């Protein structure tokens, strides 16, 4: 049985050809075949990323340069339309988005027929999100219908209060995430904590294997997207533990 890193490599070599786009690659871009060409998309430039996320300085030489600056919650995906991109990669990105169904629809509309979407998401049961409740499809559909693009305080509170502390290495970083085991009573301190996490791009939504599979198929059905699932795999206690889907736009 292949470990997840092997599956990433196999899926990339099997399905990704030509010109493509990767969202939010940071210092861990997906390895693609030698003859492929990838443009990297992020809401910040490399210089801005290093300024906003000090812990990334240890990986500065591996962070890819941003070719296209785009806010995936609010941006206009028409920049990709008509560019004949043959694949799109969203590796551990969709869980950071306020409105993941909107993201799927925007990507679908920008894809040409035959293009591939490489989509992966962490399994919350094996991450610092393990104490959080699964995000329901009903909630996500409501956010889509309201065209929500702004991270709510409810999501911030859920993240701050329910992520586990065992993934935080230093006292400095611990203070960035928590104020003890509860939200600060002081209004100004609480707003400072909210601003920090809005800037840092939290895991807004969480799924396990079963719930993400249901989310993806329900989104495809309700939006009437002509996506065909070419391949998928699920990880348990692997590194990283994730669900991967290979989707092809068929019409």
Q: What is the pLDDT of residues 119-167, one digit of tens each?
A: 999 999 989 999 999 999 999 999 999 999 999 999 998 988 888 776 6
Pairing of strands 116-122, 242-249: antiparallel
Cβ atoms 118, 244 nearer than 8 A:
yes
pTM (predicted TM-score): 0.89
What is the per-residue pLDDT for 15? 97
Q: Would you list the domain boundaries of the chain?
A: 4-127+204-249, 152-200
CB 45 within 8 A of CB 66: yes
How much of the chain exceeds pLDDT 70, in percent?
A: 88
Say which CATH architecture domain 4-127+204-249 belongs to: 3-Layer(aba) Sandwich (3.40)
Terminal CA-to-CA distance of the chain, rounded, Å?
Answer: 34
DSSP secondary structure letter of residue 111: P
Rounded to a whole number of angstroms, the CA Rg of the chain reads 18
pLDDT of residue 237 exceeding 50, the answer is: no
Q: pLDDT: is 114 or 240 the higher one?
A: 114
| Strands of the sheet with 68-69, listed across from one edge | 68-69, 37-42, 19-23, 87-91, 116-122, 242-249, 227-234
pLDDT in tens, 114-125: 999 999 999 999
């Amino acid at each position: 049985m292949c470990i997840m890193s092997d599956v990433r490599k196999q899926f990339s070599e099997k399905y990704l050809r030509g010109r493509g786009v990767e969202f939010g690659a940071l210092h861990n871009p997906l390895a693609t075949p030698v003859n492929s060409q990838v443009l990297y998309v992020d809401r910040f430039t490399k210089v801005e990323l290093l300024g906003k996320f000090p812990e990334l300085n240890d990986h500065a030489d591996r962070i890819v340069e941003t070719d296209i600056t785009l806010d995936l919650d609010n941006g206009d995906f028409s920049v990709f339309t008509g560019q004949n991109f043959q694949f799109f990669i969203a590796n551990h990105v969709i869980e950071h988005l306020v409105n993941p169904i909107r993201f799927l629809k925007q990507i679908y509309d920008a894809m040409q027929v035959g293009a591939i979407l490489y989509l992966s998401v962490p399994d919350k049961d094996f991450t610092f999100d393990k104490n959080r409740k699964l995000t329901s499809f009903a909630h996500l559909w409501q956010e889509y219908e309201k065209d929500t693009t702004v991270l709510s305080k409810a999501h911030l509170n859920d993240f701050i209060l329910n992520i586990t502390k065992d993934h935080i290495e230093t006292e400095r970083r611990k203070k960035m995430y928590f104020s003890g085991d509860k939200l600060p009573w002081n209004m100004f301190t609480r707003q400072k904590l909210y601003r920090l996490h809005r800037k840092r791009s939290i895991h807004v939504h969480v799924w396990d294997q079963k719930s993400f599979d249901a989310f993806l198929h329900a989104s495809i059905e309700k939006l009437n997207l002509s996506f065909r699932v070419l391949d998928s795999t699920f990880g348990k206690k692997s590194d990283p533990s994730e669900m991967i889907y290979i989707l092809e736009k068929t019409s």
